[in-house]
Amino acid sequence: MKKVKTIKIDVDLCNGCRACEVACSAFHAEPKYSSTNPEKSNIRVLFDVKRNLYIPVMAGEYTDAECMGRDQYIIDGTEYDECTFCRASCPARDVFKDPDSGLPLKCDMCEEEPPLEEPLCVKWCITDALTYVEREEEEEEEEKLDDVEIGLEALANKHGMKKITDTLARLSMSKKGEYV
Amino acid sequence: MRYAEQGFNLEIDLSRGNIEKVATDPRDTEAYLGGLGTNAKILWDRVPPEIEPFSPDNLLIFSAGLLVGTAAPSANRTIVSTISPQTNLMAFSMAGGFFAAELKHSGYDKVILRGKSPDWVYLWIHNGKVELRDASHLQGKGCYETAELIKQELKDPKAQVASIGLAGENRVYFASIEVEKSSCSRLGVGAIMGDKRIKAVAVRGTKDVNVAKPAEYFELCTTMLESMRHRLDNPLPGFDAMLATLGPQALSHSDDGFHIDNFAWGNARERKKGHWTKEYGEKWESDQLQSMERHISCYNCPVKCGGIIKHPTLGRFPMKCYSKLTYPMAAYADLDFGFRMIGIAQEHGVDGYTAPQVMAFAVELYEDGILTDEDMPGFPSDNEERHFWLMEKIVRREGIGEVLADGVYWAARRIGKGAEVYDHNTIKKNEQMFIKLGTLNPMYYLLYATGEKLTITQIEGGVPQAPLAPEDRKAYVKDWVQIPTGKEERFKQFVLEWGDEGKKAPFWPDTDLLNELVEWQEAMHYIDDATGVCAGVSSFMPKPPYHIHNYPLMLSAATGIDFDEDKLWKLAARNRNLVRAINIRRGLKKEDEHPPDDHWKKRFPEFEAELLDNYYKFKRWNDQGVPTREYLHELDLDYVGEDLEQRGFLKSVEEAEA
Ligand code: SF4
Ligand code: SF4
Ligand code: SF4
């Protein structure tokens, strides 16, 4: 069994104060706590008074392509853009990008050294819209594929294994020395 | 590098469309902090008393408080300063919400507007990019409507917008500037914005705000947040729900019996003891529950004293706590009427303190035959409709609205025919809280009389508003750490005894103690207004998280400038006296320092005169309420002393007569 750290988000309790953004940006400032800047925070509160929409979202993985066929959810009569709940730093929108470098932001659960007992955004959300939950999870038996393997497998499925090996051989001949 | 502040102001000349980024002097930060303090310095330096409120040379300053944009919880105030069209004195108006933090992150501490634009414009500040944009298509639009349209036009939903509605456009003397969830309401700052033909200021910022001692400062901010949590979780015994925790909690409970029974209805006219019956309370509660959708906060504040109202006829709008009682009580109506009116009033952009009273004043004049159908053709007969009708006339300055738009004081004088008598709730030409009480309370007498801010909730606080029940007093003073050094025992003794036989208003406590209690309450507000911390977690509240002992630590760690209690106390006095000097120079007189005649039923004119004279002496003001030359020197305000002397304000009555 392994421990998984998660943050439970209760949107009904969120008051839109953005303290979570302030705290996260301070924690990840260089040097630590030296500045605040919600735009650099790994958590964003997406809100829109007219729709009573107050949704804290933590930055997840970077993606270089936006999703296709995005549309709307309707929950209890309120319309939500499909991106509302998405954690990706994605070309379709400007959240979760460092305003200076443009690099994608990603929540690290405040794990950098020394790790905090509880994520800082949770600590600063004293209205308890964010709560910290540790879950036990079964270790996955199956050996995990690394990123390159995943990519290659996808290519092989698409083009056939033979084409992939041929191409690799050709590439390694013509670009000898470049890919070390 | 500058810490806590950005060190730059934006100077906008609206007449010429000129925009400049100007570095500020760090010595001013040490002397006045920021926010209201540095605003006052700018107004003193650049707006001489000859300048009329509607002159192009009057300035309209939007300032973020010094700690806004740092991690300090609840530091989010936008402090707007100008010369008020209603009082011709310095205007105080502060808003919570998100505007100030965004301004700070865009790289500026203040926006200073001067001149008058030839056409309607709005200002768009996006970090280094600052431009005046056409706003002709926004003319006539509501405040929130304008904000929405601007965000769409800029394709930036995260822009923060401060805007005016019809009232500001038409220079109504009590027009507000609305921001998301809050507003700068008092003293007609919206009218000055309208006069300058600037419909809105929109801002978006993505820059860092730095602090000098990072780890130390963040630790202090965390402790502050923890003490807020403690106060929120542990209501003070003996206080009603509105004041027992933090941030007047008008929207989180519906038990308004105290106010309904004790505040004055109509044109601040009558108390209706026993009005809050079981049935009335139930209807009040169901109105509230039906409309309150979510509790919301300002930037970086856990107190959530605001609310999102969802009303069947008006859709959703955010509101702050204040106007919940003002509109219903002024109109002898219920809470549902209040919500409907607030939704409209916020779009028009009027002060929820003054507007209800002006309308109630008009209704009273009509009922007593001073205003007639000739003055008000089409005036409805239904009570609620009358108030909606008046609101529309006022914000357009149409018909009788033209006169009423100047507020009760000026309208009464323009109407004449005895209408002046109905102006019974203004001080220094400004409408006051709708309270009428029994016996003179000397502490409140001084707060009302000498307060420069003209809004009692922005002057009082820290000391319980009334004697506590004997069983609650000990608990109150037990961990009362907020008291300034050296005054602990006497202030505690005051709370322990206040209300006992022989220890009641008006002749108790002794003048010295009284003066000190008054000065303390006011000083804490002046500090908040410079730092941008909300009074709802500080100066307005009993036993607040922010106080004179932790403030210096926070300010030192944030700015890198050393502050201690004495230095901060002196700084508060400096700001307070600078503001007073601005007003003295603009004609504020001793005889203006007078609470309404009927504020208390039992008055003691000679005793009150004595109280005022004593307080002036204690404040080291002369017998006319003007800060003395020596005192100004001690406060490092020689430039003020010189000017006041040259203009002949520093002579006492005897000197003047000699
Ligand atoms: S701190 Fe909590 S309540 Fe405030 S915005 Fe973040 S999630 Fe919402
Ligand atoms: S867990 Fe840490 S890194 Fe992630 S959003 Fe919260 S504060 Fe930021
Ligand atoms: S206490 Fe209320 S008004 Fe003050 S900052 Fe917090 S939410 Fe805003």
Query: What's the pLDDT tens digit per position in A37-61?
Result: 999 999 999 888 888 889 999 999 9
Neighbour tally for B476: CB within 10 Å: 19
Which of B229, B240, B201, B247 shows the shortest CA–CA distance to B76?
Answer: B247
Closest ligand to residue A7's CA: 2
| Partner-chain residue, chosen from A29, A31, A127, that has the shortest CB–CB distance to B302 | A127
Q: What distance in angstroms lies between residue B287's CA and the mean position of ligand 3's atoms?
A: 23
Question: Of A21, A49, A55, A95, which to mutate for an interface test with B (greatest number of B Cβ within 10 Å)?
Answer: A49
Fold of B8-204: Aldehyde Ferredoxin Oxidoreductase;  A, domain 1 (3.60.9)
Burial B393-415 (b: 16+ CB within 10 A, else e): bbbbbebbbebbbbbbbbbbeeb
A16 and B297 within 8 Å at the Cβ level: the answer is yes
B318 and A49 within 8 Å at the Cβ level: the answer is yes
Question: Domain range spanning residue A162?
Answer: 145-180
Neighbour tally for B529: CB within 10 Å: 30
- Cα of A4 to nearest chain B Cα, Å: 26
**Residues 6+ away with beta carbon under 8 Å from B177:** B80, B93, B95, B162, B163, B164, B168, B183, B184, B189, B190, B193, B349
Q: What is the pLDDT of residue A180?
A: 39
The pTM of this model reads 0.94
Q: What is the pLDDT of residue A179?
A: 45
Q: Is A66 in the same domain as A128?
A: yes
Which of B216, B224, B225, B300 shows the shortest CA–CA distance to B556?
Answer: B216
Which of B154, B192, B84 shows the shortest CA–CA distance to B579?
Answer: B84
**What count of Cα atoms within 13 Å lies in the side-chain half-sphere of residue B537?**
31
Find the residue in A nearest to B230 (Cα).
Answer: A126
Find the residue in A nearest to B210 (Cα).
Answer: A35
Q: Is A26 in the same domain as A87?
A: yes
Q: Which two tokens stand for residue B141?
A: 């639009």
**What is the signed CA dihedral for B370, B345, B244, B558, rounded to 10 degrees?**
-120
Q: Is A107 in the same domain as A153?
A: no
Q: Is B552 in the pocket of ligand 3 (CB under 6 A)?
A: no
Chain B residues within an 8 Å CB radius of A40: 208
| Partner-chain residue, chosen from A17, A26, A29, that has the shortest CB–CB distance to B301 | A17
Q: What is the ipTM of this complex?
A: 0.95
Q: Is B249 in the pocket of ligand 3 (CB under 6 A)?
A: no
Q: What is the pLDDT of residue B356?
A: 98
A18 and B299 within 8 Å at the Cβ level: the answer is yes
CATH 3.60.9.10 intervals, chain B: 8-204
Chain B residues within an 8 Å CB radius of A39: 105, 205-206
Give how far the C-alpha of residue B277 lies from the chain's centroid of Cα atoms, to the nearest Å: 32
* Phi/psi of residue B255, nearest 5 degrees: -85, 75
Q: Is B39 in the pocket of ligand 3 (CB under 6 A)?
A: no
Omega within 30 of 0 (cis) for the link into B26: no
B308 and A126 within 8 Å at the Cβ level: the answer is no
A29 and B208 within 8 Å at the Cβ level: the answer is yes
| Residue labelled with tokens 């930060």 | B29
Q: Is A31 in the same domain as A105?
A: yes
Closest ligand to residue A56's CA: 1
Closest ligand to residue A106's CA: 2
Three-state DSSP state, B123: strand
Considering only the top CATH level, what class is B247-425?
A: mainly alpha
Taking the CA of residue B97 as reference, the ligand 3 atom at the shortest distance is 8
Find the residue in A nearest to B105 (Cα).
Answer: A37
Q: What is the pLDDT of residue B322?
A: 77
Residue A149, Cβ density class (10 Å: 0-12 exposed, 13-18 middle, ≥19 buried): exposed
Please count the structural domains in chain A. 2
Amino acid at B555: L
Q: Is A79 in the same domain as A165?
A: no
Taking the CA of residue A9 as reference, the ligand 1 atom at the shortest distance is 7
Taking the CA of residue A24 as reference, the ligand 2 atom at the shortest distance is 7
What is the rounded CA–CA span in Å between residue B334 and residue B328?
A: 5
Q: What distance in angstroms lies between residue B11's CA and the mean position of ligand 2's atoms?
A: 38
B294 and A39 within 8 Å at the Cβ level: the answer is no
Q: Is A120 in the same domain as A172?
A: no
User: Quick check: A160 pLDDT over 60?
Assistant: yes
| Residue labelled with tokens 């004195």 | B89
Neighbour tally for B651: CB within 10 Å: 15
Q: What is the DSSP letter of B24?
A: P
Q: Is A40 in the same domain as A90?
A: yes
Look at strands A2-9 and B430-431 and give their pairing. Answer: unpaired
**Residues 6+ away with beta carbon under 8 Å from B180:** A49, B97, B98, B99, B147, B160, B161, B318
Chain B residues within an 8 Å CB radius of A16: 296-297
Name the residue of A20, A21, A46, A48 whose CB sits within 8 Å of the most ligand 1 atoms, as the mutation to test its pocket.
Answer: A20
Find the residue in A nearest to B223 (Cα).
Answer: A124
- Asked if the C-beta of B500 comes within 8 angstroms of chain A's C-beta atoms, the answer is no
Q: Which two tokens stand for residue B593?
A: 């320092």
Q: What is the pLDDT of residue B413?
A: 98
Fold of B437-621: 1.10.599
Q: Which two tokens stand for residue B126?
A: 């996006």
Find the residue in A nearest to B145 (Cα).
Answer: A50
Three-state DSSP state, B139: coil
Q: Is A70 in the same domain as A104?
A: yes
Q: Is B247 in the pocket of ligand 3 (CB under 6 A)?
A: yes
CATH 1.10.569.10 intervals, chain B: 247-425
What is the rounded CA–CA span in Å between residue B390 and residue B385?
A: 9
A49 and B317 within 8 Å at the Cβ level: the answer is yes
Q: What is the pLDDT of residue A140?
A: 67
Q: What is the pLDDT of residue A117?
A: 86
Find the residue in A nearest to B204 (Cα).
Answer: A39
Q: Is A132 in the same domain as A155?
A: no
Q: Is A52 in the same domain as A86?
A: yes
Closest ligand to residue A131's CA: 1
Low-confidence ranges of chain B (pLDDT < 50): none
Q: What is the pLDDT of residue B54?
A: 98
- Cα of B34 to nearest chain A Cα, Å: 19
- Cα of A85 to nearest chain B Cα, Å: 17
Residue closest via CA to ligand 1's atom 2 equals A125
- Asked if the C-beta of B228 comes within 8 angstroms of chain A's C-beta atoms, the answer is yes
Q: Is A91 in the same domain as A179?
A: no
Q: Is A102 in the same domain as A66?
A: yes
Enumerate the H helices of B268-406 as residue ranges: 278-291, 323-330, 335-348, 354-367, 383-396, 401-404
